[in-house]
Amino acid sequence: MIERQPNHSTSGDWPDLPLAAWADSCATLHLWTQVVGKIRLAHAPMVNHWWQVPLYVTSRGLTTSPIPYGAKSFQIDFDFIDHKFEIRTSHGEIEAFALGPRSVADFYGEVMGRLRGLGLETKIWTMPVEIDGAIPFEQDREHASYDPQYVNRFWRILVQVDRLFTLSRAQSSAR
């Protein structure tokens, strides 16, 4: 018999995340994830309901999961424990840099340069979506905050939400 882990959490699993304390980092991270989402959108084949676009929660942060590129694939990961950004290819190549305070324009330039360095030519529409007063990624020097403590708290909450949604989905399908 397989022994299952308990499905409960404690208050320590849900860190405090007051928006006022991390609003600037939240806005910057939102834009960084839009850059990555648009990269995935540029390469992943269309799936109904745009299911090819989301980022997935991992045991360290967020990932695109594999993105096709010709005969190979690549994935992009945000690591919110060691605070680094990684692009990995199915050919074993890795490009990475530290996550820290930097403008959206600098982040966009760094990511696109790293993709080019891996031979992953990518063109995206650089205008953020569903944001009032949006600034094209390559021009946005306004959003440049990154508080590792609060980003890690945000991710830890995502881990719990993902866990609960997975449990709920499993219980619904067992009925």
* Segment 50-105, tens digit of pLDDT: 777 899 999 999 999 999 999 999 999 999 999 999 999 999 999 999 999 999 99
Residue 1 in any domain: the answer is no
Q: Are 83 and 100 a contacting pair, CB within 8 Å?
A: yes
Compute the distance between CA of residue 155 and CA of residue 142 in angstroms, rounded to an integer. Answer: 23
Overall number of domains in the chain: 1
Compute the distance between CA of residue 142 and CA of residue 95 in angstroms, rounded to an integer. Answer: 26
Residue 156 in any domain: the answer is yes
% the chain with pLDDT above 90: 78
Residue-range definition of the domain harbouring residue 69: 22-168
Contacts of 146 (CB under 8 A, 6+ apart): 25, 28, 29, 83, 99, 100, 101, 102
Compute the distance between CA of residue 4 and CA of residue 21 in angstroms, rounded to an integer. Answer: 37
Residue 173 in any domain: the answer is no
Tell me what the pLDDT averaged over the chain comes to. 92
* Segment 106-124, tens digit of pLDDT: 999 999 999 999 999 999 9
Residue 32 in any domain: the answer is yes
Return the pLDDT at 114.
Answer: 98
Residue 11 in any domain: the answer is no
